[in-house]
Chains A and B, each alone.
Chain A
């Protein structure tokens, strides 16, 4: 079992996990923002590595990626940043395959692991293509998190969930990241995952309000909140403002 999964299983016995997402390098104070999220009660952090062509992201995270790239953000700068801060909660890096492929899978996996990351999410790499990255991640002990979508047929849910490490990422809806109404297909997707695995299952994609988070948390082990918080950082560079926006999500889950 990966270190990430051990940590998240232990957490499950205490509370529903709050996992905010932030794009690495999107503002000069992005590391302060990550600390603000920890102060607001984040149980783990999902940190984006920007890619020029983020096909699973809507306008808010696209804008964050553009800003991060314009500021010269690379896998190295993000790795250095998170290594320096010694964040007290697990960090999971989300990026697209080309970023790690270009550096070399083994080099990228050790770089992220040495920086302290415990897992990765590559949303453009499905089960059939994840082998090489999983192999490269196994040595340094990085968990490879896989997604299940509302469109994933039952037989496939078993295979993907079985292969996911750390946690299973349940997509709440057929959509890219961004704002949405309600809890979408979350309940159905989580139920399908729960039927085949007891790996912690977190819901993300379009969880926009504390009320969505609370409703979703009824069925799963944690929620991932991206665009709703990233948008705050696009609006204001003040970490206190982000902490203020994140606290209600924490409260909704407790």
Chain B
């Protein structure tokens, strides 16, 4: 036999799953939300999407080059970060805001830690929060959806969460027409960040991820479930002051966060038990920040805070080793 044979450790077959396939599937799952974003916000929306995505890929390539590392564009993670970032920005974001966000996400959110797999925080969320704190004005200009819009002079309005928060602060009561908008919230006909507005598109994508087994149900279900439960309790206590759970469910970034951001594998726990704790934590923090925090929206902060707790969760929450009565201590 002249040809060499491969000598390797078992197993000798694999599932065919690869990192880039996972990333690609997440990108596919976001396509309905992207389509809705472009439909609702027109050219400015498309511009933000393109700038963020291409920007992230560019900064990723640059970092690889400077670090003398092999290219990682093909794993799809940079493109995915770009899309997620865009979906978290106001539709009419200026070009420099989008590019700055891309730079923050890739360089500060990911590459300084050593790249994919080593970053403790979700890169897109790091960028969103840094931008929100540094450019509070630009980050809270919400264009009202104007389907097929081509102009950049869109009418601005408050997001439903923002509207509610302002009303409660001024009058101590919910605005009157709050739940009248349910149908609009479902389709996305409300002001908000590019990707958070269409609940239907997000649910469709989330379902795709579950069906394709890219993610498991643990994080989205515990995150959303906790949010509904806790906001429901507050609503029952004082329905004139606290919005109902459906409002929480459909507005703001809950669905985008629960299905696509909190499930980021790198920054969430590796055990299913840990994922449940993570999801519950995200839900509790989201409701508390929304109801009592200074910002109307709490999903990003909640996820980032739970990202920070993830190493701790992984340290203490371990699967039960076969044949042992209790969990092994780390």
A binds B: no
